[in-house]
Structure formats: structure tokens, C-alpha cells
């Protein structure tokens, strides 16, 4: 996590596109919200003193001074003994300081009978009661939500400065990798990791930039890596083990600093993190489930920190385990399960099988010190 | 909910854009995944019988027949007494039926010493073990996720048929309503509801289409409504109370059938649902917090049903209430709170104040039969 540098670039987006983005600066209200005292009820704007003692039995009589709709402004102040019919949200006329609900009134020509005394301010929404000019409407670092966007709109703000989404280069490697939709040649398989990583990146605040598939040659890998490090973060998949042609490690060592290579996690042990030209580079295993499970466990927290988003809190369910799972001692295990009739049924097949995850509802984490989890143990399932 | 008709339109999207979408048809795999038996480890492809009895003390000696990388195909079958060096993921050569891990071998020129017996199939990923041709990769009605998209990619599928996102027309009404960014005239306020509703619609599977603000005239409202009902769903805000110029009810009655007008909810009592020309129309109060809280309580479940998404399950926290809240008996109350040091502090100001929600972390629901919730009561806060 020390290598995760929170992004500094900012951009201005329209309000509609600001949902889920991280505000980069405090926004100060330039206007009061509401911008005027307004009627909080349909009724009559009055001078409160004119209603003193009014009751159902002994109503006050006031003189009808006209009608005011929302969007209109009274042409003259209200004087003693007068009242103005007013709609909810319309600006209070000068002179008036309270509203009598329409239900407590009757009108007969130019005479309005008021059956209830009101106190000053009653049924009036005060100018600036929601947001005062000069107040902070939206704070730097907060994630924008529908209601926070609503507050910005209320203050008349049309655009907001937010942190840029980290740009994440996604680089699949391997001579055998082909794009879905293309015909498969002998010995070839389809690229899976580009698609799983790209969708995870988009879900967690990043902009994904898929790079062309790189062949297994050191020169080509280094060239691909150099181009990819123009982005804020790089995720390479494939070629991260220690086979004869697993060249990613060599490319990373040639161009930057490797922080770790090999982690006590199952699946996904041959995962590396490096920094190349100041850019963090995750090297993920090529096996789809290893790659995607490490994306959930390592990339998501890292990317969210770079994007300045709060840690991910997946929905979880507690469920008893359907059958015993053996676990590799000394390695944290990411184990997928399906929830069937309230039971967490093991769904893991093999780390090369994407259906280990596609047919699962979520996963449990088995600590490194455990060598098994017994059937019936209540486990916490993190839902996908 | 009876008026929520699940959408029938479908469209085909690229895999990358399919995350979160609802699959409209089963997808059948046209190929096996993997498409061939492959090495599951770096090592030597062998005929298992040739390793019978091999141990560290008494290794078997096999003849080195070359090297096979991923993306390559062996040029000839393996014969008895031979072995082929093979990389993880490379297709098994004909004749071979197991892989010995490289760690259990040593090579000396053309002789490879095998220190471990393997059984047929050991360290081999079988063709079709992940997905068999003819199997269902993705089921109609399922929401697509990164791993399900990965399974489609693995099967070579480049595009997927999904249900269209419901198109939701958003219509703000009121002579006093001005777009943020424009100057405010006397008696005018900024449009908030368009922005809060549009972001909620986007979050819950809809495509928002903001319509021009409609003035408070029955003719104009009816014309705006008629245009808006070309969409799958309409959300009108403002003008849904019973004031002299609250014309939405009249417009809805003139053009369609009103299912309800006025609900036992606080805030947001003057909310209506109608069907106009077969299109459901929500008429929300103009007050921003009333409008948005009813969007959470009514529009979200409705929209998700139309979009064929599962019910929303917001994250929740349990926390003791910081101080007593009085509630309107007979009305379900939506009450916003802020979580401060583990305490749910009331955050509600007034239903006209968007900061009632913007400064809150979530809300509690107080049942209609309760007239108060005491300080210290543990409440379930639904987080925004």
C-alpha cells in the first residue's frame, strides 16, 4: 500500500456526471438556499400580530390583498390588517412574517377569516435555512452522492472539480492469447483477464485502458511495459511464474524495482508488484481465477487508495459451510462458494477455471494458519 | 408494483460494457474451455506408465524430446521412454498423459531423470474441464459480473444480448425553477430534483432523459407529459400537492389513470403514481428531500423491477440513536441520520432542505404505528 500514491490530477465535470466521484476542493455556496424567506405551506401571508387571539370561535378578519404563486414576487409590502394568498415556496411579501395554513381560513370576497393565531416565523421557510452563502456545500475528499449533488444544484453549481479517475493500463501477455470473437488456432485460448480486470477497474473508480496483447519476448514485453507506464497504474497478466518463458519478472527487473514476487496466497502465489518509472505495476498470474481473485484482494484496495475512494466494503452473508474444505497451510486462501438454501457450498474448481468464480456468489478467506475449515462452520461470505 | 412491467427490449453490447447488465438469453458455449488438454504445471509431459516406481532414490530415466511453450503445438506424438519439456498452459502432446513437475526432475543433456511417479491425468488440465461446448455459460436473467464476463470471454463470446436499460424521463415543473449555472431571478430557485433523480436512476439500472422544465400551466404540463410518456417511465417533480396551481394531478387525470395520490409517508405525502398511455408516471413532491426520499423508497424498487434487477440491498449499520425522534403517527417516516462515533445522530432538518440528506450518511425507517423512537434505541441505518 506504500506504493499507492493518491492521485493528484483533477478535472471539472458536470453535476450529472459527478456521482461517485471524489470532490477535489471545498465548494462554497455563492447564494443562500433558499434565496428568500418563503411560504412553507399553502395559505395566507400575514403579520403575526394581526392573528393574535384568533380561534375557530372568534376568527380574525383580514383584508384580501391578492394572490402570489411560486415564481412570482409581491408587488408591494403587506400592511397591518392585510393578508396575501400564497403558494408553498413563493417568496414572502415584505411586511409579512408568518403564514396561516389555508385549512384554517375561509375567504368571502375581500375578507379572509383567520381561525388560528400564528407566531412570527410560523410556516415560513427562512432564507439560507438550508445552505447559507459562504458555507461549504461539498467538502474536498468526500465521495459525491445523489444528495450531495442535489446540494450543489441547490446552490446553483453546475460543475464540480473532482479527482481524475486513475488510468489503468491492462496488458495481457502470452503467445497463445487471442481476443474473443476471433477464431482459435491450435494451442490458443481466449483472453479472459483483460475483461475481468477491466470491469473490476471500472467498478472501483478507475478508467481501464486495454493495451494490445504482448507476445512472450523480453524485448516486446519491455516495449509494452514502457508504453503502459504512461498510465497511473499497470496490470499485467500472464508470464509471472518462474517458467522458462515467464519473462515479466525479467522485464520488471530490467526497468524498475520489484517490491515483491510471490505471495502467501492461494490461488495466485506468483503475483508481483513493481514500480517502473514511478508507476506501480501489478503482475498477475495468467490463470483467470488466480488473476481475478488477486484483483479482488490486492488490486481493489490499491486502486481505491489511488482513486481516493474509501475502502471497499462488499456485502457479506454469514452461512454454514456445506462441506469441509482443506486449505494450504501457510497461505491465505481465497475460496469461492455458492449460497444454496442458506448453505455456503464450495464452488472452487481449479485456478485455471473461470467458472470457479462465475458460478459462485462470493468468496471466503481462509487464514494462512488454518489447514481446513470443517463442514458446518459459519463463514463470512463476501459477495461479488 | 403491479404497474412495474419488466422491460422486454433487448440489445447486444460488447463484453466490456456488459458489467451490471441483465442477460436476456442463455449463452451456449461453442467451444470447449480449455480447448485442449494442457499442462497444469511447468515440467515434463510423460507417459505415466514410464514413471512407475520412480523415487528420489531410484529415478526413472527418460529421453529428452524437446521443449514446448504455450501457444505452440507439439510436432509429433511422444513415444514410450520419451518426455517433452512443457510450460504451464501448453497443449499436451499426443501420447503423453501426465506432467511431472519440473522440481521433481533433473536434465543432463538428452537424459531427464524423473524422481516421482505420476498417475495418468496428473498435473494435466483436461479439455472442457472449465466449460464444455454446448453448456450454458451465462443464463438469461442473471446480472453479469466480472467473473461471468470472464466466462463469456473464455468461451470466445465477444458480445452479449442484454435487456435494455429502462429509459426514464425526468420532468421538473414550476415557474420558479432555474437550471444551476443560470442567474437566479427574483422568486426563483435552482432545480435540484432533476439531478438527484437522474443520479438515482443511473445507479439503479435506468437511462435518465431530462426533459425541459415545464411551467405551471395545464396545457404545457399535458404537452410535456405526452412527450415524456414515450419513455419507459416518467418521474415528474413539483406540483403534486393540492394548491391552486398544483396541476400535475389534473394533467394525470386528463391523460391517464391515477393509482394513488397521497401516501402515508413522511416526508413526501403528496406523491402520486399514474399510468398514462401505458407508461407509469411517478409524481413526486417538489421539495428536494421529499422527492429524493420517495425516490429511494418507491422509485428504486419500481425501477429495478422494470430493469429486471434484483431488489436493492443497501449496506446497513446498526447504531444507537443519539436523541429521541418524534414521529408522525400513521405515517411511515424516512428519517436521515449521521453516524458520529458509532451513534446515529438525527440529521433531518426540513423536507425542503436538501442538506437533510446531503449531510446525512443514511436513513432509518420509523414504522407508521410508532410515535417516537427513544434515544439509545438501536436502529438499522440504510446507508446512501
Instruction: Give the CATH number of domain B10-33+132-163; options: 3.30.1340.30, 3.40.640.10, 3.90.105.10, 3.30.420.40.
Output: 3.90.105.10
CB contact under 8 A, A181 and B195: no
CB pairs under 8 A between A and B: 281
Q: What is the pLDDT of residues A69-89, one digit of tens each?
A: 888 899 999 999 999 999 888
pLDDT digits (tens, 9 = 90+) for A224-241: 999 999 999 999 998 755
Nearest CA in chain B to A178: B156
Strand ranges in B238-321 using DSSP code E only, listed in sequence order:
256-261, 265-266, 272-276, 279-284, 316-320
Residues A239-252 pLDDT 10s: 755 566 668 999 99
CA nearest neighbour of B172 among B239, B105, B258: B239
Superfamily of structural domain A316-383:
MoeA, C-terminal, domain IV (2.40.340.10)
Q: Which cell goes with B100?
A: 511431472
The count of C-alpha atoms lying within 13 angstroms of the C-alpha of A354, restricted to the half-sphere facing its C-beta, is: 33
The answer to whether residues B179 and B211 touch, using CB atoms and an 8 Å cutoff, is: no
pLDDT at A243: 61
- Of B140, B143, B141, B305, give the one whose Cα is nearest residue B233: B305
**Domain-wise residue ranges, chain A:** 10-32+133-162, 38-125, 167-307, 316-383
CA nearest to B354 within chain A: A151
Alpha carbon distances (Å) from A317 to A204, A344, A356, A374? 21, 9, 19, 18
Q: Which one of B14, B36, B93, B187 makes the best mutation probe of the A interface by having the most chain A beta carbons within 10 Å?
A: B187
Half-sphere exposure of B135 (CA within 13 A, CB side): 16
pLDDT at position B143 is 97
* Cβ neighbours of A328 (radius 10 Å): 16
- Closest of A122, A112, A25 to residue A61, by C-alpha: A112
- Name the nearest CA neighbour of B173 among B86, B271, B283, B62: B283
Residue A186 in contact with residue B91, Cβ under 8 Å? yes
Q: How far is A82 from chain B, CA to nearest CA, in Å? A: 20
B316-383 matches B38-125 in CATH topology: no
Q: Do B71 and A191 touch (CB under 8 A)?
A: no
Tell me if B243 and A174 make a contact (CB, 8 A cut-off). no
CA of B282 to nearest chain A CA: how many angstroms apart?
Answer: 18
Question: Which residues of chain A make contact with B243, given a CB cutoff of 8 A?
Answer: 42, 87-88
Q: Give the gap in angstroms from C-alpha B121 to the nearest C-alpha of chain A.
A: 14
- Show residues of chain A in contact with B191, CB under 8 Å: 153
Among A42, A195, A360, beta carbon nearest to B16: A195
3-state SS class at A316: strand
Cβ neighbours of B292 in A, within 8 Å: 146-147, 150
- B246 to chain A: nearest residue by CA? A87
- Picking from B35, B137, B184, the nearest residue to A184 by CB comes out as B35
Mutate to test the interface with A, among B38, B150, B152, B270 (most CBs of A within 10 A): B150
Instruction: Enumerate the residues of chain B whose CB falls inside 8 A of the CB of residue A158.
Output: 179-181
Of B67, B131, B202, the CB nearest to A355: B131
| Contact between residue B338 and residue B358 where contact means Cβ atoms under 8 Å apart | no
Put simply, the answer to whether A189 touches B34 (Cβ < 8 Å) is: yes
Q: Rounded to whole angstroms, how far apart are CA atoms A247 and A256?
A: 14
Q: Give the residues of chain A that fall short of pLDDT 70.
A: 240-246
Question: How far is B79 from chain A, CA to nearest CA, in Å?
Answer: 20
CA distance A167 to chain B (A): 16
Which CATH superfamily, name and number, covers A10-32+133-162?
Molybdopterin biosynthesis moea protein, domain 2 (3.90.105.10)
* Residue B75, C-alpha cell as written in the block: 510436432
Q: Angle B218-228/B248-255 helices, nearest 10 degrees?
A: 60
Nearest to B188 among A71, A194, A245 (CB): A71
**Grid cell for residue A248:** 515479466
In whole angstroms, what is the distance from residue B312 CA to residue B319 CA? Answer: 21
**Tens of pLDDT along chain B (384 residues)?**
999 999 999 999 999 999 999 999 999 999 999 999 999 999 999 999 999 999 999 999 999 999 998 888 999 999 999 999 998 889 999 999 999 999 999 999 999 999 999 999 999 999 999 999 999 999 999 999 999 999 999 999 999 999 999 999 999 998 899 999 999 999 999 999 999 999 999 999 999 999 999 988 899 999 999 999 999 999 999 876 656 666 899 999 999 999 999 999 999 998 999 999 999 999 999 999 999 999 999 999 999 999 999 999 999 999 999 999 999 889 999 999 999 999 999 999 988 899 999 999 999 999 999 999 999 999 999 998
| Closest-approach residue (CA) in chain A for B156 | A180
Write the DSSP assignment of B314-361 as a string of letters.
--EEEEEBSS-EE--TTSEEEEEEEEETTEEEE----TT-THHHHT-S
Give the whole-angstrom CA distance, residue A381 versus residue A371: 18
Q: Which of A153, A177, A208 sits opposite B192 (nearest CB)?
A: A153
**What is the pairing mode between strands B272-276 and B279-284?**
antiparallel
Helix ranges, chain A (H): 146-154, 193-203, 218-228, 248-255, 288-294, 300-307, 355-358
Q: Which helix (H) or strand (E) holds A256?
A: strand A256-261
Among B13, B71, B91, B285, most A C-beta atoms within 10 A, so best to mutate, is B71
| Nearest C-alpha in B relative to A292 | B147
Q: What is the DSSP letter of B299?
A: I
Q: How far is B320 from chain A (nearest CA, A)?
A: 21
| Strand, helix or coil for residue B67 | strand
Q: Which residues of A151-185 are buried (b: 16+ CB within 10 A; e: fewer)?
A: bbbbbbbbebbbbbbbbbbbbbbbbbbbbbeeeee
- Residue B68's φ and ψ, nearest 5 degrees, are -130, 120
* 3-state SS, residue B147: helix
End-to-end CA distance of chain B: 23
| Strand A372-373 relative to strand A325-326, pairing | antiparallel
In order of A101, A202, A233, A343, B41, the CA distances from A272 in angstroms are 69, 22, 14, 35, 19
The three cell numbers locating residue B360? 446525512
Distance from C-alpha of B215 to C-alpha of B212, rounded to nearest angstrom: 10
Contacts of A90 (CB under 8 A, 6+ apart): A38, A39, A68, A69, A70, A71, A72, B176, B187
Give chain B positions within 8 Å (CB) of A103.
none
**If you average pLDDT over every residue of chain A, what do you get?**
95
**Shortest Cα distance, chain A CAs vs residue B284, angstroms:** 15
Grid cell for residue A265 = 496466497
Name which CATH class applies to B167-307. Answer: alpha beta
Rounded CA separation B128/B134 (Å): 10
Type and span of the H or E element at B146: helix B146-154
Select from A275, A20, A310 the least CA-distant residue to A165: A20
Question: Given the C-alpha cell 505495476, which residue does it identify?
Answer: A281
Min CA distance, A147 vs chain B (Å)?
5
Q: Choose, out of A31, A44, A71, the residue to mutate when testing the contact with B (most B CBs < 10 Å).
A: A71
CB atoms A360 and B147 under 8 Å: yes
When scoring B64, B143, B243, B350 by the number of chain A Cβ atoms within 10 A, the one with the most, hence best to mutate, is: B243
**Per-residue pLDDT at A365:** 95
Note whether A158 contacts B179, CB cutoff 8 Å. yes
CB distance B189 to B221 below 8 Å: no
**Start-to-end Cα distance in chain A:** 23
Among left, alpha and beta (phi > 0; psi -120 to 50; other), residue A121 is left
Residues of B in contact with A107 (CB under 8 A): none
Comparing CB atoms, the residue among A16, A70, A354 nearest residue B154 is A354
Q: What is chain B's alpha carbon radius of gyration, rounded to the nearest angstrom?
A: 32
CB contact under 8 A, B154 and A87: no
Q: Are strands B325-326 and B124-125 parallel, antiparallel or unpaired?
A: unpaired
CATH superfamily of A38-125: Molybdopterin biosynthesis moea protein, domain 3. (2.170.190.11)
Residues in chain B within 8 Å Cβ distance of A40 = 350, 352
| Of residues A189, A193, A241, nearest to B42 (C-beta) | A241
The whole-angstrom distance between B181's CA and the closest CA on chain A is: 5
Amino acid at each position: 500500500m506504500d506504493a499507492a500514491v493518491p492521485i493528484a490530477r483533477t478535472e471539472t465535470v458536470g453535476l450529472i456526471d459527478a456521482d461517485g466521484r471524489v470532490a477535489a476542493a471545498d465548494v462554497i455556496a455563492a447564494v443562500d438556499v433558499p434565496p428568500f424567506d418563503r411560504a412553507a405551506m399553502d395559505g395566507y401571508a400575514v403579520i403575526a400580530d394581526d392573528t393574535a387571539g384568533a380561534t375557530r370561535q372568534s376568527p380574525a378578519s383580514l383584508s384580501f390583498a391578492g394572490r402570489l404563486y411560486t415564481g412570482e414576487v409581491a408587488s408591494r409590502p403587506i400592511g397591518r390588517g392585510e393578508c396575501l394568498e400564497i403558494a408553498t415556496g413563493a417568496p414572502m411579501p415584505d411586511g409579512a412574517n408568518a403564514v396561516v395554513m389555508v385549512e384554517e381560513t375561509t375567504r368571502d370576497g375581500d375578507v379572509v377569516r383567520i381561525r388560528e393565531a400564528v407566531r412570527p416565523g410560523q410556516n415560513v421557510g427562512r432564507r439560507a435555512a438550508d445552505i447559507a452563502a459562504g458555507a461549504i456545500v461539498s467538502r474536498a475528499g468526500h465521495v459525491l452522492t445523489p444528495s450531495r449533488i442535489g446540494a450543489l444544484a441547490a446552490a446553483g453549481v453546475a460543475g464540480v472539480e473532482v479527482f481524475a479517475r486513475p488510468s489503468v493500463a491492462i496488458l495481457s501477455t502470452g503467445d497463445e492469447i487471442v481476443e474473443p470473437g476471433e477464431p482459435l488456432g491450435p494451442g490458443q485460448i481466449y483472453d479472459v483477464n483483460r475483461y475481468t480486470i477491466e470491469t473490476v477497474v471500472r467498478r472501483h473508480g478507475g478508467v481501464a485502458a486495454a493495451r494490445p496483447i504482448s507476445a512472450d519476448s523480453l524485448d516486446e514485453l519491455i516495449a509494452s511495459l514502457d508504453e503502459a507506464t504512461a498510465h497511473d497504474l499497470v496490470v499485467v497478466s500472464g508470464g509471472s511464474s518462474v517458467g522458462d518463458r515467464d519473462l515479466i519478472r525479467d522485464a520488471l527487473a530490467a526497468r524498475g524495482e520489484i517490491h515483491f514476487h510471490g505471495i502467501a496466497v492461494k490461488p495466485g502465489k506468483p503475483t508481483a508488484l513493481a514500480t517502473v518509472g514511478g508507476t506501480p505495476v501489478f503482475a498477475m498470474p495468467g490463470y483467470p481465477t488466480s488473476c481475478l481473485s488477486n484483483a479482488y484482494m490486492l488490486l481493489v484496495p490499491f486502486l481505491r487508495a489511488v482513486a481516493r475512494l474509501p475502502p471497499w466494503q462488499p456485502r457479506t452473508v454469514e452461512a454454514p459451510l456445506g462441506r469441509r474444505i482443506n486449505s494450504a497451510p501457510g497461505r491465505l486462501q481465497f475460496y469461492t462458494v455458492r449460497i444454496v438454501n442458506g448453505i455456503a457450498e464450495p464452488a472452487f474448481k481449479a485456478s485455471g477455471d473461470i467458472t470457479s468464480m462465475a458460478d459462485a456468489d462470493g468468496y471466503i478467506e481462509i487464514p494462512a494458519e488454518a489447514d481446513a475449515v470443517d463442514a458446518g462452520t459459519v463463514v463470512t461470505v463476501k459477495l461479488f
